[in-house]
Chains A and B, each alone.
Chain A
């Protein structure tokens, strides 16, 4: 089982905002950068956020990331039907010497 905990699902109407939490510990989130990935149905994951709050080129500013202590948060504003996907947080765990991913959160646009 994953060392990073995310809510199984979140949902909101088009145009609204959702936030996804990622809870870890001092050996992972607390002392390392966090990334977020989007996995659309039937496709490979894609990097959305890196180094806690930076967006790769091409990722709209509707997506944002933050980190506080041993938790991180992904925010999506102006929700669109195309945002329906699974979202994963990821970071390095210094105690495990392993990359770790969150349990994943399914975003549904109502």
Chain B
């Protein structure tokens, strides 16, 4: 069974940092691009970042460019999101999701909540 499990969320002060992890299992992780997508409380989905299978191609939403860094470790079947200079507007549930190409994003993890507040 394909499974994605996020971790690392929590409460952090504005300006602080947090590193999210996503553990993948049930598929050949190194063959797929991966995404981070977030959802603020009561709001819609917002794509954050994506990384190709070999890390050759990386993309970021303008809202996080220069503050967030996506990375992966194919040997550990893991995806990461380093979040720096966090702002209140970064408060959201962060989902890790596999990219099957042509906007076919599936499955999604259960999400991890990041709260930025003083």
Contact = CB atoms under 8 A, between A and B. Distances in A.
Interface string A3-46: 00000000000000000000000000000111101010000111
Given A45-B45, A45-B95, A98 B61 contact: yes
Nearest to B93: A44
Size class of the contact patch on chain B? 20 to 34
- Give the interface SS of chain A, mostly helix, strand, loop or mixed: strand
Nearest to B104: A50
- Give the interface SS of chain B, mostly helix, strand, loop or mixed: strand
Interface string A39-79: 10000111100110000100000000000000000000000
A92 B84 CA distance: 26
Contact of A35 (B35, B44, B50, B103): B103
Q: In the complex, which of the residues B45, B47, B104 has the most CB atoms of chain A within 10 Å of its own CB atom?
A: B45
B104 A47 contact: yes
A52 to B, nearest CB: 9
B106 interface: yes
Nearest to B110: A44
Interface residues of A, number: 28
A56 B107 CA distance: 11
A56 B44 CA distance: 23
11 contacts: A33-B104, A44-B111, A45-B108, A47-B104, A50-B102, A88-B45, A90-B103, A91-B103, A98-B59, A99-B35, A104-B45
Closest 6 CB pairs of A and B: A47-B106, A99-B47, A50-B104, A104-B44, A44-B108, A101-B45
